[in-house]
Structure 1
Amino acid sequence: MTTSASAPDSRPVVLDRRDGPYGEVVLRRHGGLLQIIANGCFLMDTSDGRSERLLVDAAFRALDGRSEPAVLIGGLGVGFSLARAAQDPRWGRITVVERETAVVDWHRDGPLSAISARAFADPRTVIVESDLVAYVNETSDTFDALCLDIDNGPGWTVDKANEGLYSLAGLAGCARVLRPGGVLAVWSAQPSAEFEGTLWNAGFQRVRTEEIPVARGVPDVVHLAVRPG
């Protein structure tokens, strides 16, 4: 997720509004930015993709040179994470799980295609329309890295149903889809010592946090952890 920034005298213009199984989702333009709003809650915009790029890059670095690793990205959002992964020829299969059909549509043939068109055309890219919690508990596929950016952090979920993802049981599902030595990378709007402790208690190793400086306030972070080999 990213912090909204736009010209103070501009007013947002709704480009599309959908009602789906998880509520209302809106794409709007605010000045030069595109924004995604879910059930009236600001999720993210196209102002700055540093956090999303670091999420993907940090996961790759933590894999210690693994050849053509497969990555699972939880949440399509405005497409920065997918675009970053697709720009790097070292990644193997790139799977993105997104539960909102509207978001996928906005990338396929809507305004967000300006960010993701090349990534969508990449033969390594697979888009799965599903709830991430259900996916990690049901899929037979496994991955070398799992990058999560579906909330504002473990303690600030967009949907109350997502809270379980950051619990011991939810992290067991994340570990289930990771190959031995695989990396879990979780974006957060603020650091969480409590979540670091939960990662250790869930059996992950090499738990650490990387900060992403922001213009104002507490830095964004990426929580990193490795499934034991």
Structure 2
Amino acid sequence: MLPWTKLATAQIPGGDELRLMQRGEEFSIKLGSNELMNSRLGGSEEALATLACKKLEGRSRPRVLIGGLGMGFTLRAALAVFGKDAVIEVAELVPEVIDWARGPMATLYGDSLDDPRVQLIARDVGELIQAGAGRYDAILLDVDNGPEGLSRKANDRLYDHSGLATTRAALRDGGVLALWSSGPDDGFTRRLRQSGFAVNEVPVRAVGKRGGARHWIWLAVRS
């Protein structure tokens, strides 16, 4: 088996170091001992977009905010399922991740970053949510491995009662918050319901219909 090669590193503001790794045609982004994403395992990140889109079926000119560019799985799925009139904002905190997307991982992205529907923003997604009262039809979050600040402690504010109230305010009526996680979290489900969301919890597979590890997606609709 081919060994992993470290291509680049990047410092998360207020957090730890990311490492971009490559083995043959396979890419991995790691944080410490945790693998945050792998180019072979994008089925559940794609489901983040497709499941959210189903909740908004029939809505014209949807505005979607994606928190975390990653390897572009959620973005590419959003471009495939949302209409030609959609606006898709992608917030990425670490500028180097954007450089990786246009550099060594460009083949993964194809022409998705140049789609006219896409606005790529090098900024903390929490800041966009806080400034976006009534702006979004969907907010898709995949910035940690679940509802806690893994990549940096400051992200905890996205998942507590105050942060969920801010997210709810950023959504239009009937808008949906979709959040990816490596596993379930009953406490987070309770906080969503206490914050005024109607909640569905959906287990999904890492490689879609082909199986893989079980991941978790919350679909929380502003009721």
Structure-1-length-normalised TM-score: 0.87
SS of 2:158's partner is: helix
The change in CA–CA distance for 1:64 and 1:19 in structure 2 (over 3 A counts) is closer
| Counterpart residue number, 2:101 | 107
| Counterpart residue number, 2:20 | 27
Residue identity in the other structure for 1:99: L
The change in CA–CA distance for 1:106 and 1:227 in structure 2 (over 3 A counts) is same
CA–CA distance in structure 1, aligned partners of residues 21 and 5 of structure 2: 5
Return the offset for 1:40: 5.5
SS of 1:164's partner is: helix
Higher relative contact order (CA 8 A, sep 6+): 2
CA–CA distance in structure 2, aligned partners of residues 131 and 141 of structure 1: 18
CA deviation profile, 1:8-67 (whole Å, cap 9, x unmatched): x33210112234534422211034311112356421110121101110000000113212
Unaligned runs of 5+ in 1: 1-8
| Counterpart residue number, 1:16 | 8
Unaligned runs of 5+ in 2: none
User: Where do 1:130-209 residues align within 5 Å?
Assistant: 130-139=123-132, 142-155=135-148, 157-205=150-198, 207-209=199-201
Return the offset for 1:216: 6.0
| Counterpart residue number, 1:120 | 113
CA–CA distance in structure 1, aligned partners of residues 177 and 10 of structure 2: 31
| Counterpart residue number, 1:6 | none
SS of 2:121's partner is: strand
CA–CA distance in structure 2, aligned partners of residues 157 and 24 of structure 1: 12
Q: Is the 8 A contact 1:79 1:112 kept in 2?
A: no
Q: Does residue 77 of the first structure (1) align with residue 42 of the second (2)?
A: no
Return the offset for 1:150: 0.7
The change in CA–CA distance for 1:140 and 1:105 in structure 2 (over 3 A counts) is farther
CA–CA distance in structure 2, aligned partners of residues 89 and 209 of structure 1: 22
Return the offset for 1:127: 0.6
The root-mean-square deviation of aligned C-alpha atoms, in Å, is 2.0
CA–CA distance in structure 2, aligned partners of residues 138 and 94 of structure 1: 16
1:221 pairs, out of 213, 216, 222, with: 216
CA–CA distance in structure 2, aligned partners of residues 86 and 60 of structure 1: 11
The change in CA–CA distance for 1:137 and 1:82 in structure 2 (over 3 A counts) is same
Q: Is the 8 A contact 1:83 1:115 kept in 2?
A: no
| Counterpart residue number, 1:45 | 38
Structure-2-length-normalised TM-score: 0.89
CA deviation profile, 1:182-205 (whole Å, cap 9, x unmatched): 001011111122211110001112
Q: Is the 8 A contact 2:134 2:172 kept in 1?
A: no
CA–CA distance in structure 1, aligned partners of residues 90 and 33 of structure 2: 24
Give 4+ residue runs of structure 1 displaced > 6 Å after superposition.
none
Q: 120-129 or 146-155: which moved more? A: 146-155
